[in-house]
Amino acid sequence: MKGWFNNLFHGRQGMDELSKAMFWWGLACLLVSTLLSALLNGVLSLPFSWIGLLLILLCFLRAFSRRLEQRELENGAYLAFLERRRRQWEMRKERFRQRRDFRFFKCPGCGTILRVPRGKGKIHINCRCGYVLYRRT
């Protein structure tokens, strides 16, 4: 039995992070579908159940796929997306912690977030890109 299982996954991707996320989102959609059918008499349960089943099906298709390079590229894009969102969340938390002592402005030229101390009155702020902002702190 163990040899058969090992041969089944030989040359296949298996469950990577994207497949796991698709599986859990699919289960969540099925759970929401079940709750909607019980609470709202099935008003929105059909779309959620189809979405959940589709996500779970795609999850297993990805796991048994032999196109390893394509699945690795998809997983890499998903992990990069998660990393960007995590960094944005950490930046927002840090800005929230510093909100009492600093003001934050976004440079219209390059989009950089600029941090200046509060309570300095009207000042001009020089960005690295050469743009000058006149703001009140």
Distance between CA atoms of 116 and 125, rounded to whole angstroms?
A: 8
Q: Quote the Cα angle for 65-69-70, to 5°.
A: 65
Q: What pLDDT sits at residue 10? A: 66
Average pLDDT value over all residues in the chain: 88
Range of lowest pLDDT (12-16, 19-23, 118-122, 132-136) = 12-16
- Which of 131, 130, 129, 134 shows the shortest CA–CA distance to 116? 134
- The answer to which of 38-47, 98-107, 115-124 has the lowest mean pLDDT is 38-47
| pTM of the predicted model over 0.75 | no
Give tens-digit pLDDT for 41-52. 767 788 888 999
What's residue 45's pLDDT? 81
What residue ranges do the domains of the chain occupy? 2-97, 101-137
Q: Which amino acid, residue 93? A: K
Instruction: Flag whether pLDDT at 1 surpasses 90.
Output: no
